[in-house]
Structure 1
Amino acid sequence: MRKKKAEIIRRFYLILYKIKNWDWNLILLGFISLQIAILIFVRLHFYNITIDLKSSLELILTFNGLFSAILMSYFFNRISRTLDSKKEDYEEAVMFSQKITDFRRILKKLTDFYNVWQNDESTKGLFLSGKYKNVDYFDFKLSSYSDYEPKDINIIHDLYKEPRYLDGQSDLYLGMISLVDNRKSQYREYDSILYKTHQTKGIYNLKFISNCVEIDYAGRLASRLRTDYEYIRYNNLSTESKNYILELLERIDSKKFQNAELNNATMVEVCEDMNEHYFKELNKLLLRLNMGLSTFNLLIYLILILCLIFGVLLPFLTYFIFDETTVLKKVITEILIGVNFALLFFFIFSLYSLVKKEITWT
C-alpha cells in the first residue's frame, strides 16, 4: 500500500513538473490571439461594417500565400537540420550498441560452459531447463522492490523458496544469461551477433535499453561480483575463451583494459562502465532518435497549418464557390479576417520567443 501511494505521489510531481515547464507566455499569447479573433468577428458582423468581400479575400490570399511559403521553407529547413542531427545520433548509437554487444558476448562466454561456475546446479541446472527456464532478470528484479507483477510472478515467488536457489550466485547467473538470451521465448533462439567478434551496424531496441537503465542492470551485476570471488572460476575457462574475453574487453575500452587480467575486479569495472556510461548514453540517444517533432518544430508546424487552412485553402474556396451576395460568404470572410489577424498578432508577438529558442542551446 505504501509503495502504491509513493508511486502516485511520484507521478503527480512528474505531471506537475511538466506543467511548470510549459511555455506559459506562448499559451497566454495564444489565448489573447483567440480573443482578438472573436472581437474582430463580432465587430464586423454585428456592427454592420461594410467590407469589400472580394478585395478582402484577395488580400488574405496574397499575404498568406507569401507568408506560408516563407514559413514552409523555414520549417523544412529545420526538419533537414533535425535529420542531420539524428544521423549523428544514429552513428553514435551504433558505436554504443557495439560496446554493449561486446559486453553481452563476454557474458555469453562466461555462462556457456559447465564447471566454470561454483555451483552448476544453482545456475545452469536451475535456469536453462525446467520450471524456471523463462524467468527473466528484469521481471525478477523489478518485482522484488516495486508493485510490478509480471505474468510469471508466482513462479518468481517459488524461485525464492527453491532449495537450489543461492541468493548471490543464482542472481548473478540469471542476470548474465538474461542479457545473453531472450528468456521469454518458448524456444531458445541464440542471437547470431553474439558469435565471433565481428562488428555490427544495428542499434538496440529502446525498451530493452530503458529496462536495463531502470533497474541499474549492469550495476547489480557489479555488486554481486564485488561481494564474493568464488562465483566464477575463471581459471577453468580455456585459454582460447580467456583470450576471446580479453580481446572484447580491450575493444570496449582499449586504454582501461589493455593487458587486463580476467578476474572479478576487471568484470566489476566493465559492469560499472556499462551501467554508468554505455547503457545510459545509448538510452539518451535512442530517446532522441525515437522522438518525433520537437515542441518548437510542432509550434512552427501548427502555425503553418493554420495559415494554410485559414489563409489559403478556405479563402480560395470562399472566393470561387460562394456568390458575392450570399450571406454565408460574408460570415466566412468576417471569420477569416478575424482569424488571420489573430494569427499575425500571435506570430509578431511570439517572434522574440521563437528566435530565442532558436539561438539558445542551454
Structure 2
Amino acid sequence: MNPLTADAVMVVHGPEVFDAGDVEWLIRLLSPREVLVAGVMARTAARESGLPVTCTDERPSVLLNALSSRAFLVNRGKTPESGRIFGEIIAGRLGSGQGLVHVESSSRTIYSWNRADDALAREIAEKTGFALASATSTGTPRDGTREIRGCIPGEAVFVNGIVIGTATDETVVLSSRNGTIRAVSGLEVKPHGFEKLLRRGLPDLNAAWCKSGMIRSAPPRPGGVRVSRAGRVAVIDHCGHTLYREIEDEGVCGVLAIGDDTTAVCGHICSHAGIPVFGVVDGDGDGIVEPGFAPGSVVVEVTCGRDDDLGREVAATRDLEASCWDEWVEETLRSLEGRVRVVVDRREG
C-alpha cells in the first residue's frame, strides 16, 4: 500500500522551515506529491534552497481551502506556543467540517485540528517521531476586534506588512470602529504606523495578515546579478510584501523602496535575485529582517523631513524608465544633493 503522504500536498509556511532544514528533511522523509509555499519570505528562502517546490502568493488558509486532495501544513513558529497559535488560526479559517494536519517543527508536534485526517496525522507522526496531539480551534470572532497572540514584548507588530508598533505584552488587541483602527492593549503605537496602514484603506482585521517579530532571522544568500541594467524602476512604498509582483517582471532593472522597513525587506529579497535597490529611509527601522543588498544598490537617509515625502517626490519627478540603472542612481543622487546622506553604497568603484 502506498503511504498516505505520497498522495498528499505539503503546504509550507514561513522561511524558518527552509532555513532550519525542515523542508528538505520532510520532502526526503515523506515524499509528498507536491510542495506549495505560502508567504513572501518563505518564497525567498525557498528560492535560495533550490528545492523542488511551487511558490504562490496565497496565504496558507486559502491554499488549504482550495485543495481537494489530502494536505498538511508545515510551520516553525518562533516559539512552540506561537507555532501552536498559528495552527489554531489557520484551522479556524478553513471550511466547515474541514480539519487540519499541522506539522509544528518548533515543538516536534503533529497537531490534528478539528477532527482532521487522523490516518495521515498518525503516519506523519510515525515517520518523523514527532508527538501526536488532538486540538480544537473555535474560529475567528468577527466583532471588529483582533487579538495578535504569541508576541514577545519589544518586538515589532505588523498588520498587512506595515509595522504599527511594538508589543508590550504577549497579546496585542486591536479594534476597528467608526472607520479607523485603534490599539486596545499590548501595543506601543509607532508614529505614522496606523497612518501608513489606513492610507491603503481600512483593512478587515479578521482577514488581515497580522504577525509579530522578525519576518526572517537568517541573512539572505546572495545570488546572481541581472545582466540587464536598463528597464523599469519598480516603486515599493511601505508595502514590501508586494515586491514579488513587481520583480517577477524581467523588465524591472531596479527598485525604488520608500521607508526603512520596506528598504530592508526589498534589499533582502532582491539580494538573491540580483536586483539593485535605491532606498529612501529616515532612520526609524524596526530590525525586522537581516539586511542585504545586491551590487549597484544605494540607500539614502533624509536629513530633514520624512522618507514618505521625499520618496514619493522621487517617484513622481524622476523618469521610472531607466536606460541605465547606474546613471539613474547618479542623476537621482544629484537631484537630492543637500537633502540626504548615503548610508549604504554598493556601487562599483
- TM-score of the superposed pair, with normalisation by structure 1: 0.20
The answer to which structure, 1 or 2, has the higher relative contact order (CA under 8 A, 6+ apart) is: 1
- TM-score of the superposed pair, with normalisation by structure 2: 0.21
Greater Rg over alpha carbons, structure: 1
Higher helix share: 1
